[in-house]
Amino acid sequence: MIAIVDYGVGNLFSLSSSLRALGQQTEITRDPERVRAADRMILPGVGAFGDAKAKLDATGLVPVLRAEAERKPLLGICLGMQLLFDKSFEYGEHVGLGLIPGQVTDLRQGLGDPTLKVPHMGWNSLEILRQDPIFRYFRDGEYVYYVHSFYATGCTGNTLAVSQYGAASVTGVVRSGHVYGTQFHPEKSGDAGLRLLKAFSEL
């Protein structure tokens, strides 16, 4: 069973629907025991980092996620991926889960072109830097769907794939141990995204 963590932010329905289309048993939950019972965990997220982290803290699931991530796969999606890092500088400075070394910074600082729109919204090709089981059914250069204004930096050693937007190499996929993150939304990325979710469900 894949536990989709419900902490009040995230497109839970489309993610759950995508996983069920792949034949995966899923459960949207904030129950610590159900998270512990799951084979895999997904941390979705949309919105602002500080608000999302406060809501996640309020569920009491942070120590559960940290402990469970030591023994089974966890996938953070979009803001859920950003929460995996040490800290974020989105409207202040906020402490993350510390599961992947690095920080989340303003995308505008890395673009090198003030005419480029932020948020970075739409389809972009994904360049695989390191082969990994998460790419079992995914081809280098396939297009995925992004919606974000901040991105992960200082995480080169854990970066599996990037997308280019202006001068910024947007961190697209990261991994540290059992912990994965995608800045893009696989559940909104058509067949390519479904194939990536399929690979995650087989880890």
Q: Which residues in 155-186 are b (16+ Cβ under 10 Å) and which e? A: beebbbbbbebbebbbbbbbbbebbbbbbbbb
Task: Please name the residues in contact with 115: beta carbons below 8 A apart, sequence gap of 6 or more.
Answer: none
DSSP 8-state code for residue 180: E
Whether 187 sits among the annotated catalytic residues: the reply is yes
**CATH code of residue 108:** 3.40.50.880
List the catalytic residue out of 90, 127, 185, 202. 185
* Number of structural domains in the chain: 1
> Can you give the pTM of this predicted structure?
0.96
Proportion of the chain above pLDDT 70, given as a percent: 100
Q: Are 175 and 134 in contact (CB under 8 A)?
A: yes
List the catalytic residue out of 78, 90, 120, 155. 78
Note the pLDDT tens digit of each residue in 99-152.
Answer: 999 999 999 998 988 889 999 999 999 999 999 999 999 999 999 999 999 999
Q: By three-state DSSP, how is residue 153 classified?
A: strand
Per the structure, the complete domain to which residue 94 belongs is given by 2-201
List the catalytic residue out of 68, 90, 142, 187. 187
Instruction: Give CA torsion, residues 48, 179, 5, 9, to 10 deg.
Output: 10
